Amino acid sequence: MTGRGESAVVLLSGGMDSLVTTAWAARNHDLALLHVSYGQRTADREKQAFLDIAAHYGVEQTLVLSIDHLRVIGGTSLIDRSIPLRTEGVQKDVIPTSYVPFRNAHLLSMAVSWAEVLGAGSVWIGAVEEDSSGYPDCSEAFFNAFGRAVGHGTAAGNIEIRIPLIHMSKSSIVTRGIELDAPFDLSWSCYQATESACGVCDSCRLRLNAFKDNNLDDPISYAINRI
């Protein structure tokens, strides 16, 4: 654990998990918030959530990177609109069409490069292994191996990869966020809508279930709420 005053780079998409990760890092660190827009369907809405959350925490050190190369490399329904987005619910042991190949390696590389420029001691990412949609780059084994690559591949050599949510359920993430006073109303999780959340994509279903498990209403609005 690093002490207050040392800054932490947090990857903040604007969704529920990265919001709670931000709230967690804010307890002991000066924040540097990084948002990456990579051509996903809801890029503008996510960026707005990022800006709202950064303002909520009074963070001055923010960086928004717009990248095009994941779209160019292709192969995902989150970006490629010719691949249908799955709305029939999360299945176990099936890698969904929304998977961006090796996406988290790109995001972490950006965060680590920025951390090295800033002299930050850690990079935080709100990845969840068990309760996620089965993306291989959300596994603890991946982050541990990547962390060792950071140790060997940077001049600083001591930038820590922090994955505080990795073994939490979506329900316990909501519980933790409430404890940390995370502003859930400012976050955005839906993969396809930008006004009211759709309520039927994997991300909406997981989020709605998590609030239900906590006997709470999600403060954002939904077009459909079958949970």
Which residues are near a copy of itself by CB under 8 A?
63, 65-70, 72-75, 95, 99-106, 108-110, 112-114, 116-117, 136-137, 139, 141-142, 145-146, 148-155, 157
CB of 24 to a copy of itself, least distance (A): 23
Taking the least distance from each CB to a copy of itself, the nearer of 54 and 200 is 54
CB of 118 to a copy of itself, least distance (A): 9
The answer to whether 104 and 138 have CB atoms below 8 angstroms apart is yes
Taking the least distance from each CB to a copy of itself, the nearer of 113 and 171 is 113
Whole-angstrom distance, CA of residue 40 vs CA of residue 145? 27
Taking the least distance from each CB to a copy of itself, the nearer of 103 and 207 is 103
Query: At which residue do the structure tokens 């932490």 appear?
Result: 8
The answer to whether 102 and 145 have CB atoms below 8 angstroms apart is no
CB of 2 to a copy of itself, least distance (A): 19
- β-pair partners for 65: 36
Residue 10: name the closest of 32, 29, 27, 26 by CA: 32
Dihedral of the CA atoms 167, 171, 173, 177 (nearest 10)? -160
CB of 214 to a copy of itself, least distance (A): 31
Taking the least distance from each CB to a copy of itself, the nearer of 7 and 187 is 7
CB of 41 to a copy of itself, least distance (A): 19
Whole-angstrom distance, CA of residue 118 vs CA of residue 141? 27
Taking the least distance from each CB to a copy of itself, the nearer of 3 and 72 is 72
